[in-house]
Structure 1
Amino acid sequence: MNTAKFLSTRELWQQLRREADAAMAADSMLSAAAATILDHPDLSSALASLIGQRIGSAGADRAQFTRTAREAFAAEPALVEAASRDLQAIVRRDPAITGLLPPLLNFKGFVALQAWRVSNWLWRGGRADLARLMQSAASDQLQVSIHPSAAIGTQVFLDHGTGLIIGALVAIGDEATILQNVTISRDQADPRRAPRIGRGVLLSAGATVIGDISIGDFAKIGAGALVTSDVPPGCTAVGVPARLTNCAEAAMP
């Protein structure tokens, strides 16, 4: 998992099954968790079941969300490929994680992101009411609210996944890392435009990014920062209101 090459979805699924077998052999108390993997024929089926179980508050809700996720994954296999890359990105970036199974089963940020991928598929298909219902359920059960109209790349890591709000029309690039209690939203004075978050951006805990602004590739937003203007690529923004630091001289205002 430390090489640049990503496992294919099929390879990842085989690795998950091996890890589930090993976990169950090591501790019988993990049998129910391992069944999340071993009872399913492939990653798409396991993901759909996981989404239904984690965001549904009752049996009927869980069944409905599971069916909807299966429908989305069957219609658009790229969603499953994106989930595979998201999961592998967690292992690459989190030094406390050494396998694929723990983040799949335990990281609610990962589940919330995959539930958003389904709700976004619904939104793009003209099924806005069901998309919003999934957003509401994920917000209630996981404390992560991502509007179905947002656009999010792959290899994205929602670390800790509590108190996270990603509003309508927000765009987030590949390889972004977003910590807890982050808000990314439109400015009510101009609700037609929303923040655009570049590739490889780090949004630290408690950061707020508001308005028609751009956060450049590989920029870093410090903990608790309030960002209401553009951040050039590679810069760090800290403070309230945010000021730029660690920029090349040409990028400084």
Structure 2
Amino acid sequence: MNTLTTQIWQQIRAEAQELVQREPMLASFYYATILKHDSLGSALSYILAQKLGLSSILGAISFREIIQEVLEQEEEIIAQVARDIEATVERDPAVDKLSTPLLYLKGFHALQAYRITHWLWLHERKDLAIFLQNEISTSLGVDIHPAARIGSGIMLDHATGIVIGETCVIGNNVSILQGVTLGGTGKESGDRHPKISDGVMIGAGAKILGNISIGENAKIGANSVVLKPVPAYCTAAGVPARIIMSDNKECPATQMNQNFIDIWEAMNI
């Protein structure tokens, strides 16, 4: 494990030990999910298998074998997992423990399960990848195509109803809220989904459609419908979205500022 992964795993274990003392009724839960494991990857594979496998024809044991196989083949996935945990704790004021995303947040679970399907897709195990995508969508309410490319430091906040299409590309340090669609504009094939740059924040319910680019550190307002490219450091809001230029050079994904009153005033709404 790299340094960040090691630090995060040690802190998660320390939190679990404290939680056992605080709430003895959940001691067996904390043991099964965290304390009996010797690594973040082991804990993650157990948790995802329990989330996805119990209602599946494959079963939790087979799910865990698949996940562990992938994690053993691609160590970078666990480094991405650690960065996603760190990002969630830094950006979500409701999350005050590193263990919380790992244990409870379905957006985090869906994202890490996607990482497994993406590896399978790239290694020509597409049928299994699609099968797992369906299980993720059914169990967690998040639909991410295995072929999509997603960086790290990602937060899927609340996550219900998020859809990310096949040719979508998402950079690093991006925050996406519930109900977001990164989709196509019809039944055309080929490269047809949005390209999301580093540092972007996409508000709840926003729809970004087509092979368009969302520039670095841009912000997309809640429930906006974006059909044209958005330049870096700009805000897009409305239906259809209008572009507001900005002098703000900070990162919306880490700021998580969803107050758009000043934006509406600038648009004379």
TM over 0.5: yes
Q: Which moved more, 1:206-215 or 1:189-198?
A: 189-198
Aligned partners of 1:144 and 1:163 also within 8 Å = yes
1:63-86 deviation digits (Å, cap 9, x = unpaired)? 222111100100000001100110
Match of 2:7 among 8, 11, 16: 11
User: Match for residue 68 of structure 1?
Assistant: 66
Aligned partners of 1:181 and 1:207 also within 8 Å = yes
Q: Distance in 2 between matches of 1:203 and 1:33?
A: 34
Query: Structure 1 counterpart of 2:102, which letter?
Result: L
User: Match for residue 164 of structure 1?
Assistant: 162
Query: Structure 2 counterpart of 1:51, which letter?
Result: L
Aligned partners of 1:138 and 1:144 also within 8 Å = yes
Aligned partners of 2:162 and 2:180 also within 8 Å = yes
User: Match for residue 235 of structure 1?
Assistant: 234
1:159-216 deviation digits (Å, cap 9, x = unpaired)? 0010110010100010100000110012225431221001011110100011010000
| Deviation of 1:61 (Å) | 2.4
Aligned ranges 1:30-45 → 2 under 5 Å? 30-35=26-31, 36-45=33-42
Aligned ranges 1:17-56 → 2 under 5 Å? 17-35=13-31, 36-56=33-53
Aligned partners of 1:190 and 1:211 also within 8 Å = no
SS in 2 for 1:8: helix
Q: Distance in 2 between matches of 1:162 and 1:61?
A: 24
SS in 1 for 2:243: strand
User: Match for residue 246 of structure 2?
Assistant: 247
CA RMSD of aligned residues (A): 1.4
| Deviation of 1:246 (Å) | 3.7
Question: Unpaired runs of 5+ in structure 2?
Answer: 248-269
From the superposition, tell whether residues 7 and 30 of structure 1 become closer, same or farther in structure 2 (CA, over 3 Å).
Answer: farther
Aligned ranges 1:143-158 → 2 under 5 Å? 143-158=141-156
User: Match for residue 122 of structure 2?
Assistant: 124
Q: Distance in 2 between matches of 1:143 and 1:103?
A: 16
User: Match for residue 180 of structure 2?
Assistant: 182
Aligned partners of 2:56 and 2:135 also within 8 Å = no
Aligned residues: 243
| Deviation of 1:95 (Å) | 1.9
1:105-137 deviation digits (Å, cap 9, x = unpaired)? 110000100000000000000000000011100
Aligned partners of 1:168 and 1:186 also within 8 Å = no
Q: Which moved more, 1:88-97 or 1:129-138?
A: 88-97
Q: Distance in 2 between matches of 1:218 and 1:7?
A: 27
User: What TM-score results when the alignment is normalised by the length of structure 1?
Assistant: 0.92
| Deviation of 1:10 (Å) | 1.5
Q: Which moved more, 1:134-143 or 1:26-35?
A: 26-35
Aligned partners of 1:195 and 1:212 also within 8 Å = yes
| Deviation of 1:48 (Å) | 0.7
User: Match for residue 251 of structure 1?
Assistant: none
Identity level (%): 42
Q: Distance in 2 between matches of 1:59 and 1:100?
A: 32
Question: Unpaired runs of 5+ in structure 1?
Answer: 1-5, 249-253
Q: Distance in 2 between matches of 1:82 and 1:111?
A: 13
Aligned partners of 1:174 and 1:200 also within 8 Å = yes
SS in 2 for 1:234: coil
User: Match for residue 3 of structure 1?
Assistant: none
- 1:97 corresponds to 2:85: no
